[in-house]
Each structure stands twice: as C-alpha cells, then as structure tokens.
C-alpha cells in the first residue's frame, strides 16, 4: 500500500539523501532511514465522499509539471512490443512453457518487424510515432532498450539489424528468400499493427510451440482479462504516453471473433512466409485425437465414444499429422483445431445416434428399458443433464458479459482537451456508481476465478453441474456384426446439397436452421457455446468433416445433386460400413474389433 503511494515520489531525503519513503498513520511522508517527516502528505482520493450539490468542476492546475523538453519519440511498433510482452508474460504465468515467449513469439515478432519494414532494415517505413513524456533521467536508456533488450528477459538480445537479417535467414531457412517480394505487395495499411494482430501473432506462436491452448481458449482468456487486451494500454511503461488519433488504436471496444483472428493469422502466415511448423502428431494436445477427448469430457459424453471418433478420423483421413501441420509448401491452410475436433464429435454422434429427432430417442428408450446395470448411456438422460447445465452456463455467461468492465483503471485520453472530457465523464460515472453500490448489500461476485479449460464441471464434488457420465457404456447403440462392432443405427442424413458461390455465400445456416432436426441444432449450440463461436461457423466445419468422411467433393456451381429435403442416405451409410469393414479387415490391430475381455 505504502509502496504504491510513495512510488511516485522519488526525491531524495533532505537529511540523509536516501530515497526510502514511508507513510505515517496520519498520511504524512517520512524517511524510513532517518525518520525525517516532510511536508508531503498522501493524496487521498475518497470516492465515498461526494459533495451534495456542488458541481464537479475541472480545476486545471496550470502547467505544474509541464516541462519544455520534448522527450523521445516512440514508434508504434514499440508500443505493441510492450503489449505483446505483457500478453506473453500473462500466458507464461498461466503455465505456457517458457520457450514460447523467447524462442517463438519474439522471433515471430522480429520477423514481422522486418517483413513489414518497421525495423531491422536500412530505411524503416515511417510508422506512427508517439511523444515520450519528458523525464529528467534515464529516458534515453529505456527508449534504447525497447527494441533490444526488454522483450527478452533471458538476455538473448538481438545484436543489430544486420545481424538479425542473417540470423533469421539462417534460422528459418526459406523465410529470407521470398520475403522481399511479398513485402512489396503487403500494403502499408495492412502492415499496420493492430491489437487484433497481437492475438493472431500469439495464436501462431502457440500453434508453433504446440501448446494446448486453442484459439477459442486464447479468446476466452482474453475475454476474462487473464491476458491483457482490453486494458493493455494500462501496463505500458510510465514514460510511454499515448496521444493523438492513433492512440485510439489501443482503445478497445470489442473482442475479435474466432473467425477474424483465424483469418488474420492465416494472412500473417502468408505474409511472414513461415517455414513448416513443427509437426502436430497424435500425441500433441492440439491434434484432434486428444482435443476431441477433452471436448468429450467437457460435454460429459462417455469415453467409449472416443474410439468411434478415432475411427471416423481414420476414415476421413484426418488422423494424418500432415493435415494438421501447417506447411506453406504442402498444406498452407491453418487448421481450425478446436472446431475440427468439435465437428468430429458431432459427426460421430450423428453416425451413432442419428440425431434426426427419432433414432436417438428410440435408442435411449431401449437403453432405459434395459435397466439391468444402470450404466448404459442414454441420450435422453445426457440431454437433460447437459441442457440444464447449458442453460445455467449461458445465464452465467450473460451475467458476466453484462458485468464486464471495458474501462481501465487509468482513464484513456488522446490529448489535453480530450482528457478534460474523459476525466469529467469518469468522475460522473464513478460517483453514480458509488452511490448505487453503497445501497446494494451484496458485493458483486468476485470474478477472479482461475481459468479452466473446461466450461462445465461433471462429477460428484460440490458445485459440479451434475454426475459424470464418462464411464457409461454405449450398450445397444453398438452391435456386434461378424465380430466387428458397428453402429446399430444405419441411417445417416445430411442437409440438402445445393449450389453455392464460394465467393459471395458465407453460410446458409440461418435459412437451413428451421428445417434441421432439433437435437442436431442443440448439439451445435452446445459445442458452439463451449467454443464460444457462432453456431453457423461450427456448422460449416461439420459439413466440411462430413464431406471428408463421405468423400463428397465441395459442391460447385452447376454440379447440383438432385436430392430434395433432408435425405436419409441410409444406403450410403451402409456402403460406408461395408467399406469400413473391408478396411478393417485389411488392417491389423484394428481399434474397432471388440476387445477380447
């Protein structure tokens, strides 16, 4: 408490010349080393004291602190560097491996600076500049250190711009060669760093270091303020002062969507001409094998389903690690790991349970009548359990959204005139808020809960959303057929195929939604809630997975398949089952074969 108040006062003591101030009980400053009490008192800002009828007026203290010296000029990218560093530090605190920041993110950032010609080049393009607040001492050193040292704490400083060129060239193989041509096409407006781009960069770095954080996890952390974003400007160093129109870049009013960040990250990959990413093999947490297991647990689905998800993945040729490893040469698209895994689960559920508003209920009726052991998975029971939890969680999320504070502790202003208005507005809103808060008995619930990768909590402990269904058996849903377990449901539907202009059409989900089976729509809602994305976005991914599984080509204009309404391609599925079996036969150690026990 004292430190916070005395931190601003850095004058040496008149008697002993030490800078070691404390605050006495009366609020006066005293020197801790010689106990000399000085005139200065703590500035008390008591918001509960509001005068009744006096208007708030702005008393401008005329240029008490204004100094003539202009100070240094900060580059825009330096501001972003600080913000990236803070974001990376926050991620490290949350348990990301330390290599993420120094070895991956900082390299990416340097590459970005170089490619966008903002630094590490002979003639950097003129990006926006900020005035540095005039400081008497050590302003120069701080400014110098930004581009060299402050980002990497471990001391792996960059040497010089020339060295860096060589270094990144050797480090990253291809990156140096094709860089020049793409920078030319990279328009200046697009090369401007934005706050969204910090997230895209971090996402890329996370994928590179194969961390278990998907993009939706990252956005959730940002939303809950575990990673500085909305008020990132607050953590900038004291001498870095934002001013002018450009400062509004840091005034955040929105948290970008999953889709926009993904697009931006994709763009960055192309722009930076990144080499092949480290392979995402089935042992990595980003690979759908493990990611789908995580989502199954979160959705309280039985573990037994995971086998089927894996089979489906094999069938769709999605287990292949090349498919999940970004490589500009062979697989240039940045995969949507989280959506893919969720879509795989939904398609698996569709294969096993039909999700056509009939089959799944019939199956659960059978499971209910077979009440012998009580550990048979019933779709109905699961639906009831999860639906209740989902409604609650949606309400909770809504309340959190309503309570979210977008303002920082420090007021945000761009210039002096703006400061006047901002401060006035801030005081008015604070005063009204105080008088309302005083009257509410309960304090607002504390938001500081440790972030979890799970949205729901299943189990028997306190505060859980319900009993866990993990150990339930699928029972009759799967039947033995020639020693090979196959789904007892033989029907599979998919939405009508239609022509689609890939450029102009985004999604037909909103038109299609009323005609889709309710249980399927509900599944979409559940998973889109878990990932915090729009349902249509997930729906597109589900269609994509279905195409892979059934080998349907992406519909192109003029190639319409004349199937009206929802078609139940039962025969198709049967064929697939047959295919599946033949495939299984050819393979050894088939996972579908019934376990011997």
Partner 1 sequence: MDVAAAGDSRENSAVRDKRQHLKIADCSTGFKTGPCVTYLSLPAELIMDALDEHLDPPVDLGDESDSSDNSSRKSYKSKLPLARPLCVETKTESGFQKTYRICLELIREAMLHHRWQEAAQYMASFTEILEDRNKVRAQPNKELVWRISIEILHHLSKSTVKDYNTIYERMKHSGVKHYLMICLEHSFHLMLHGQIECAKQQLSIAESWRHGKESVSQLQRIKLIQAYRSLLDYMIWCDKKSMLSQNNSVESDIQGMHTCFRHASVNLQEILKNPGVWDPFILSYVEMLEFYEDYEEALKVLNDYVYDSNFPPNPNANVYMYQFLKRHSAPEKKLMKVLRNLHVLVPSHELMLEYSFLLLQSEKTSDTQKALGVLLEMLDFACWRSNMGVWTCLHTAVHRLLLQEEGEVIVHKQMALRKDWWPALHFTSFHAKKDLEENAKLLEVKASLEKILCPGRPLRYTAERMPT
Looking at 1, 54, 64, 417, which residue binds partner 1 (CB under 8 A)? Answer: 54
Q: How far is the CB of 514 from partner 1 (least distance, A)?
A: 5
Query: Could you give the C-alpha distances from 551 to 142, 466, 573, in angstroms and in order?
Result: 59, 39, 12
Binding mask 564-593 for partner 1 (x = CB under 8 A): ------------------------------
Q: How far is the CB of 541 from partner 1 (least distance, A)?
A: 17
Phi, psi of 78, deg, nearest 5: -70, -35
Residue 425 within binding range of partner 1, rule CB under 8 A: yes
Q: How far is the CB of 406 from partner 1 (least distance, A)?
A: 5
52 contact partners, CB below 8 Å, separation of at least 6? none
Residue 456 within binding range of partner 1, rule CB under 8 A: no
Query: Could you give the C-alpha distances from 6 to 9, 11, 40, 255, in angstroms and in order?
Result: 5, 10, 10, 35
Residue 376 or 533 with smaller CB distance to partner 1: 533
Q: How far is the CB of 240 from partner 1 (least distance, A)?
A: 21
Degrees to nearest 5, angle at CA 357 with 355 and 361: 90
Looking at 122, 442, 482, 553, which residue binds partner 1 (CB under 8 A)? Answer: 442
d(CA 100, CA 399): 34
Spell 467-478 as b/e; 16+ CB within 10 A means b.
ebbbebebbebb
Q: How far is the CB of 7 from partner 1 (least distance, A)?
A: 26
Q: How far is the CB of 129 from partner 1 (least distance, A)?
A: 23
d(CA 184, CA 356): 52
Phi, psi of 568, deg, nearest 5: -100, 100
Q: How far is the CB of 497 from partner 1 (least distance, A)?
A: 22
Residue 139 or 431 with smaller CB distance to partner 1: 431
Sites for partner 1 among residues 515-544 (CB under 8 A): 525, 529, 535-536
Contact segment (CB under 8 A) with partner 1 among 39-47, 358-366, 434-442, 471-479 equals: 434-442
Residue 404 within binding range of partner 1, rule CB under 8 A: yes
Sites for partner 1 among residues 100-129 (CB under 8 A): none
For partner 1, how many residues bind (rule: CB under 8 A)? Answer: 47
Residue 50 within binding range of partner 1, rule CB under 8 A: yes
Which of these, 156, 157, 154, lies nearest to 144 by C-alpha position? Answer: 157
246 contact partners, CB below 8 Å, separation of at least 6? 76, 128, 130
Residue 433 within binding range of partner 1, rule CB under 8 A: yes
Q: How far is the CB of 254 from partner 1 (least distance, A)?
A: 4
Contact segment (CB under 8 A) with partner 1 among 52-60, 262-270, 368-376, 543-551 equals: 52-60
Residue 426 within binding range of partner 1, rule CB under 8 A: yes
d(CA 466, CA 459): 6
Residue 55 or 66 with smaller CB distance to partner 1: 55
Contact segment (CB under 8 A) with partner 1 among 131-139, 179-187, 351-359, 417-425 equals: 417-425
The backbone region for 260, taken as left when phi is positive above 0, alpha when psi lies in -120 to 50, beta otherwise, is alpha
Q: How far is the CB of 419 from partner 1 (least distance, A)?
A: 13
Looking at 7, 428, 561, 563, which residue binds partner 1 (CB under 8 A)? Answer: 428
Which of these, 546, 494, 550, 542, lies nearest to 517 by C-alpha position? Answer: 494
Residue 260 within binding range of partner 1, rule CB under 8 A: no
Query: Could you give the C-alpha distances from 414 to 70, 189, 250, 408, 521, in angstroms and in order?
Result: 17, 21, 10, 15, 46
d(CA 478, CA 353): 10
Query: Could you give the C-alpha distances from 398 to 156, 189, 401, 403, in angstroms and in order?
Result: 44, 36, 5, 9
Residue 432 within binding range of partner 1, rule CB under 8 A: yes
Exposed/middle/buried for residue 220 (C-beta within 10 Å: 0-12, 13-18, 19+): buried
Contact segment (CB under 8 A) with partner 1 among 24-32, 144-152, 293-301, 405-413 equals: 405-413
Residue 382 or 413 with smaller CB distance to partner 1: 413
CA 579 vs. chain centroid, Å, equals: 39
Query: Could you give the C-alpha distances from 418 to 194, 200, 242, 250, in angstroms and in order?
Result: 22, 31, 12, 15
Q: How far is the CB of 387 from partner 1 (least distance, A)?
A: 12
Residue 504 within binding range of partner 1, rule CB under 8 A: no
The CA-based diameter of the chain, rounded to the nearest angstrom, is: 95
Sites for partner 1 among residues 370-399 (CB under 8 A): 394, 398-399
Residue 251 within binding range of partner 1, rule CB under 8 A: yes
Residue 404 or 471 with smaller CB distance to partner 1: 404
d(CA 284, CA 16): 60
Looking at 20, 157, 435, 499, which residue binds partner 1 (CB under 8 A)? Answer: 435
Residue 9 or 406 with smaller CB distance to partner 1: 406
Print the SS3 string covering 350-372: HHHHCCCCCHHHHHHHHHHHCCC
Residue 422 within binding range of partner 1, rule CB under 8 A: yes
Using CB under 8 A, list all residues that contact partner 1.
Answer: 50, 52-56, 251, 253-255, 394, 398-399, 401-407, 422, 424-426, 428-433, 435-442, 444, 509-510, 513-514, 525, 529, 535-536
């Amino acid at each position: 408490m004292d430190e916070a108040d005395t931190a601003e006062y850095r004058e040496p003591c008149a008697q002993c010349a030490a800078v070691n101030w404390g605050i006495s009980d009366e609020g006066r400053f005293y020197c801790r080393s010689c106990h000399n009490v000085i005139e200065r008192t703590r500035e008390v800002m008591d918001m509960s004291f509001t005068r009744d009828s006096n208007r708030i007026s702005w008393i401008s203290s005329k240029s008490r602190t204004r100094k003539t010296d202009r100070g240094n000029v900060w580059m825009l990218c330096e501001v972003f560097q600080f913000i990236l560093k803070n974001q990376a530090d926050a991620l490290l605190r949350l348990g990301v491996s330390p290599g993420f920041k120094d070895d991956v993110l900082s390299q990416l950032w340097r590459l970005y600076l170089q490619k966008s010609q903002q630094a590490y080049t002979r003639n950097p393009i003129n990006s926006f500049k900020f005035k540095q607040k005039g400081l008497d001492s050590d302003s120069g050193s701080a400014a110098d250190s930004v581009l060299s040292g402050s980002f990497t704490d471990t001391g792996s400083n960059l040497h010089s711009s020339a060295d860096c060129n060589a270094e990144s060239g050797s480090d990253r193989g291809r990156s140096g060669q094709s860089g020049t041509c793409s920078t030319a096409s990279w328009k200046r407006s697009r090369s401007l760093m934005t706050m969204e781009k910090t997230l895209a960069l971090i996402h890329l770095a996370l994928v590179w270091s194969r961390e278990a954080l998907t993009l939706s996890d990252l956005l959730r952390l940002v939303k809950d303020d575990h990673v500085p974003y909305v008020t990132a400007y607050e953590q900038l160093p004291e001498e870095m002062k934002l001013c002018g129109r450009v400062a509004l870049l840091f005034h955040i009013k929105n948290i970008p969507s999953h889709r926009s960040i993904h697009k931006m990250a994709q763009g960055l990959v192309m722009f930076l001409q990144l080499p092949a990413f480290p392979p995402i093999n089935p042992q990595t947490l980003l690979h759908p094998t493990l990611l789908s297991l995580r989502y199954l647990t979160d959705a309280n689905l039985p573990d037994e389903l995971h086998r089927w998800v894996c089979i489906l993945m094999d069938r769709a040729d999605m287990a292949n690690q090349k498919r999940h490893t970004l490589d500009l040469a062979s697989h240039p698209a940045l995969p949507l790991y989280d959506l893919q895994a969720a879509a795989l689960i939904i398609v698996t559920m569709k294969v096993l349970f039909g999700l056509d508003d009939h089959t799944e209920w019939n199956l659960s009726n059978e499971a209910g009548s077979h009440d012998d052991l009580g550990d048979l998975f019933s779709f109905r029971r699961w639906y009831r359990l999860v639906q209740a939890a989902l409604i609650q969680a949606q309400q909770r999320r809504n309340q959190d959204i309503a309570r979210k504070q977008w303002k920082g502790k420090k007021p945000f202003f761009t210039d002096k005139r703006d400061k006047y208005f901002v401060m006035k507005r801030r005081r008015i809103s604070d005063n009204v808020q105080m008088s309302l808060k005083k009257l509410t008995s309960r304090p607002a619930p504390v938001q500081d809960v440790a972030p979890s990768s799970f949205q729901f909590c299943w189990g028997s402990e306190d505060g859980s959303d319900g009993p866990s269904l993990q150990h339930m058996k699928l029972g009759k849903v799967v039947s033995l057929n020639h020693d090979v377990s196959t789904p007892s449901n033989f029907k599979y539907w998919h939405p009508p195929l239609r022509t689609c202009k890939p450029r102009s059409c985004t999604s037909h989900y909103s038109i299609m939604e009323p005609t889709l089976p309710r249980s399927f729509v509900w599944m979409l809602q559940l998973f889109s809630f878990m990932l915090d994305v729009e349902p249509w976005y997930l729906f597109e991914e589900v269609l994509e997975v279905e195409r892979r599984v059934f080998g349907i080509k992406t519909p192109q204009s003029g190639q319409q398949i004349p199937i009206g309404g929802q078609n139940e391609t039962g025969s198709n599925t049967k064929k697939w089952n047959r295919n599946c079996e033949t495939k299984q036969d050819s393979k050894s150690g088939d996972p579908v074969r019934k376990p011997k026990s």
